[in-house]
């Protein structure tokens, strides 16, 4: 843990297996203690963490805030509607403002691809020691979601040993709007790192054939991919066929706010083909875990029956696991420039 290599967390493309295991192990230790009477740690006392969410969020924003407060950090929350953005201030100047106030970590969500990277590059050039943690940028990356999904699946398949290598050769089916999903892209990096094979399922307008070569493209920001042997990616247009061999399912939100043209015929036709229902899940002939990063459009991406009554629906587990995973990330970033004792 003393050798955490990343000043900024902008993508999972440059995470090694050791990086993933460090996050999972630390998150699990926090998770175990969070389930006791101990609800606060002095680890980040005197540390200033700032949340810069230029997009709406419920789970990620509040999960990061709770994580910071459980680590005893001071926490500033930026609100775009009451900020100087309305007066013409750029997001770079906004970030510099909070760094000048002494922010040690900026947690950034923005609708533009690569915006956390641009901010981190700008701050580094000005000599700030501040770390940048991406909480989602456009449809590019959502590292903490990719990590908490990895943690959730590892806990499900390997509760005793918590070994993510349990995912080797398992088939993870990801259904829906892959085109606009930063969660899917982060999951492609995190899950294939441990040998999981990913099946992307949806219409061609939302799952373009280019995704077949996703792992063959150079990683972003001129980074090197430390994983030598990854799982494979395949594409399916039939949920009924692809679910038969799935070991786990991740359903994704239909992101209509990011669609610049009509990519589906209708909500009804989409849900008829790609909404995960009990009838479609029964084709698998075994009880497999299902996940969704939220927010859910019920009976469009996944049926209310499965959300409310299916025993292996892990959506609430994902939300709960988000807090210790984000505690782990904040703790690790705190050690880049300052020595803090972590449990």
Q: Please, what is the average pLDDT of the chain?
A: 94
pTM equals 0.95
Between CA 222 and CA 219 the distance in angstroms is: 6
- pLDDT for position 2: 56
| Bridge pairing between strands 48-53 and 171-175 | unpaired
Name the residue among 135, 67, 37 with its Cα closest to residue 321.
Answer: 67
Query: Which of 218, 15, 4, 10 minimizes the C-alpha distance to 121?
Result: 10
Instruction: Give the whole-angstrom CA distance, residue 132 versus residue 5.
Output: 14
Q: What confidence tens digit (pLDDT) does each residue in 143-180 have?
A: 999 999 999 999 999 999 999 999 999 999 999 999 99
**Cα–Cα distances in angstroms (integers) from residue 226 to residues 30, 76, 212, 280, 290, in the given order:** 27, 34, 20, 37, 29
- Which stretches of 71-114 are DSSP H helices? 91-100
The answer to whether residues 190 and 153 touch, using CB atoms and an 8 Å cutoff, is no
**Residue 252 reports pLDDT greater than 90:** yes
Q: 137 has which bridge partners?
A: 110, 141
The structural domains of the chain, with segments of one domain joined by +, span 17-141+320-337, 143-315
Overall size of the chain counted in residues: 343
Work out the percent of the chain whose per-residue pLDDT is above 90: 87
Distance of alpha carbon 180 from alpha carbon 183, whole angstroms: 9
pLDDT tier for residue 75 given thresholds of 50, 70 and 90: very high
Fold of 17-141+320-337: Rossmann fold (3.40.50)
Burial class (CB in 10 A: 0-12, 13-18, 19+), 326: buried
Q: Does 17-141+320-337 match 143-315 in CATH topology? A: yes
Q: Provide Rg for the chain, Cα atoms.
A: 20
H helix runs in the chain, sequence order: 17-34, 59-70, 91-100, 115-125, 143-157, 182-192, 239-242, 267-274, 278-281, 304-309, 315-337
For 22-51, what is each residue's pLDDT tens digit? 999 999 999 998 777 777 899 999 999 999
Q: Does domain 143-315 have CATH number 3.50.50.100?
A: no
Rounded CA gap, 131 and 317, in Å?
A: 28
C-alpha 226/C-alpha 229 separation (Å) is 9
Residue 140 has pLDDT above 50, yes or no: yes
* Mean local confidence (pLDDT), 207-231: 95
pLDDT > 70? residue 260 = no
Angle between helices 315-337 and 59-70 (to 10 degrees): 50
8-state DSSP, 282: G
Averaged pLDDT, 221-237: 96
């Amino acid at each position: 843990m003393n050798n955490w290599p990343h000043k900024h967390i902008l993508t999972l493309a440059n995470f090694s297996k050791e990086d993933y295991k460090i996050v999972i192990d630390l998150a699990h230790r926090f998770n175990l203690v969070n389930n006791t009477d101990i609800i606060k740690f002095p680890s980040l006392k005197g540390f200033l963490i700032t949340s810069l969410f230029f997009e709406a969020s419920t789970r990620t924003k509040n999960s990061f805030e709770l994580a910071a407060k459980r680590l005893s950090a001071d926490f500033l929350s930026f609100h775009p509607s009451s900020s100087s953005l309305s007066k013409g201030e750029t997001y770079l100047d906004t970030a510099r403002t909070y760094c000048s106030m002494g922010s040690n970590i900026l947690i950034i969500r923005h609708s533009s691809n690569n915006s956390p990277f641009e901010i981190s590059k700008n701050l580094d050039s000005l000599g700030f020691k501040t770390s940048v943690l991406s909480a989602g940028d456009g449809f590019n990356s959502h590292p903490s979601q990719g990590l908490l999904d990895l943690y959730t699946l590892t806990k499900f398949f390997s509760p005793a040993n918590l070994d993510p290598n349990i995912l080797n050769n398992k088939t993870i089916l990801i259904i829906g709007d892959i085109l606009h999903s930063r969660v899917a892209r982060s999951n492609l990096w995190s899950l294939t790192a441990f040998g999981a094979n990913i099946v992307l399922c949806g219409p061609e307008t939302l799952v373009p054939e280019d995704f077949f070569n996703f792992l063959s493209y150079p990683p972003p920001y001129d980074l090197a991919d430390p994983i030598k042997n990854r799982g494979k990616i395949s594409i399916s247009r039939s949920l009924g066929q692809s679910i038969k061999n799935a070991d786990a399912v991740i359903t994704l939100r239909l992101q209509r706010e990011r669609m610049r043209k009509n990519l589906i015929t209708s909500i009804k036709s989409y849900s008829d083909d790609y909404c995960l229902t009990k009838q479609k899940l029964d084709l698998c002939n075994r009880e497999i875990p299902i996940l969704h990063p939220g927010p859910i459009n019920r009976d469009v991406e996944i049926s209310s029956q499965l959300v409310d009554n299916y025993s292996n629906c892990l959506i609430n587990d994902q939300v709960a696991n988000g807090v210790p995973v984000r505690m782990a990330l904040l703790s690790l970033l705190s050690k880049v420039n300052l020595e803090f004792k972590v449990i």
